A and B are shown apart, each in its own frame.
Chain A
Amino acid sequence: MLLSITSYCSIADHSVVLNGEKWYSAESILSAPDFLTELYKRSRAEYPKFYKMDHLAQLGFLAAELVLQGRNISEEYGASAAGIVFCNSNASLDADLHYFETVKNIPSPAQFVYTLPNIVIGEISIRHCLKGENAFFVQEGFDPSFLEFYVTDLFKRERLKVCVCGWVEYLEGKYKAVIYLVENKPGNRYLQFDIKNIHQIYETANGEING
């Protein structure tokens, strides 16, 4: 078994890099929420529920859209063999703070549903029909060795045949997403799914938060 990163995407500092090439860059005067809305329009996703998502879910949703564009991994591998593993360091704190504001008046049910970090996984799973293993880890900072170990183990134990994984962080206008599509596809065309490459892609993403 040789796991490869068959596609990867980073969204940070108002820039989007897809498979090592700049895909979109916006002016820094845009607020982070406006940038995400602009990116959604450019992605041509046509998924009105996007507007109801919190910022963390929007960010993860967009990164997954780009990494999975032109693919239907649930059909290719079977929905139960397609999974997601995400991590960040602030969980759903951004949504928690917004919800807390509404509690002072009438609590918003629509904001309450996003006060868990793994909701972003649910949104992506619904969109792409992924029904395999999923997990969201809250860590002090991005840990490439943990991600490599955990995802590789899922493949070794034949729980997954394809995995969308990586880092998705959004807090008070600061954000960073680095998402990898991992498959058992050996070959020179792809980067190997190892600690060095995971770390390098994360580090070279534009802008940084917690890492």
Chain B
Amino acid sequence: MADLKRQIIEQLNLKDVKPEDIGDDQPLFVEGLGLDSIDALELIVLLQQEYKIKLANAEEGQSVFRSVRTMAQYITEHQPKTI
């Protein structure tokens, strides 16, 4: 999850945030890390770019991007298998 936190910080240009500042279960939006709707789109780009995962529908985003842990779980479950 440390790698994922680093990727989130880089993708969203969160210059003042360190990976250890983000709790595994801390909400990413509103009251947590304070991300906004554009950040949500950037997280979708991150999944596509780094993990080759496309969100099936936008509705999924709300549960997938709840926290770093939910993102990590989604990535583990959906990452294309390499042979």
Contacts and interface: CB of A to CB of B under 8 A. Distances in A.
A105 B15 CA distance: 24
Contact of A109 (B13, B15, B42, B49): B42
A109 B16 contact: no
Given A106-B48, A108-B45, A51 B13 contact: yes
Interface in B15-60: 15-16, 38-39, 41-42, 45, 48-49
Interface residues on A, range: under 10
B42 A106 contact: no
A52 interface: yes
Given A109-B38, A113-B38, A51 B48 contact: no
Given A48-B14, A51-B13, A110 B41 contact: yes
Interface string A87-124: 00000000000000000011011100100000000000
Nearest to B49: A106
Interface residues on B, range: 10 to 19
Interface of chain B: mostly helix, strand, loop or mixed:
helix
Contacts of A105: 49
B38 A51 contact: no
Interface string B1-23: 00000000000111110000000
Interface string A50-69: 01100000000000000000
Contacts of B12: 52, 110
Interface of chain A: mostly helix, strand, loop or mixed:
helix
Interface in A10-55: 48, 51-52
A106 B39 CA distance: 15
Contacts of B16: 48, 51
Contact of B15 (A48, A106, A110, A113): A48
Contact of A51 (B14, B41, B45, B49): B14
A45 to B, nearest CB: 12
Contact of B42 (A48, A51, A110): A110
A108 B42 CA distance: 7
Contacts of A48: 14-16
A113 B41 CA distance: 11
The 3 A-B residue pairs whose C-beta atoms are closest, nearest first, are A109-B41, A51-B15, A51-B13
Interface of B: 12-16, 38-39, 41-42, 45, 48-49
27 contacts: A48-B14, A48-B15, A48-B16, A51-B13, A51-B14, A51-B15, A51-B16, A52-B12, A52-B13, A52-B38, A105-B49, A106-B45, A106-B48, A106-B49, A108-B42, A108-B45, A109-B38, A109-B41, A109-B42, A109-B45, A110-B12, A110-B13, A110-B38, A110-B39, A110-B41, A110-B42, A113-B38
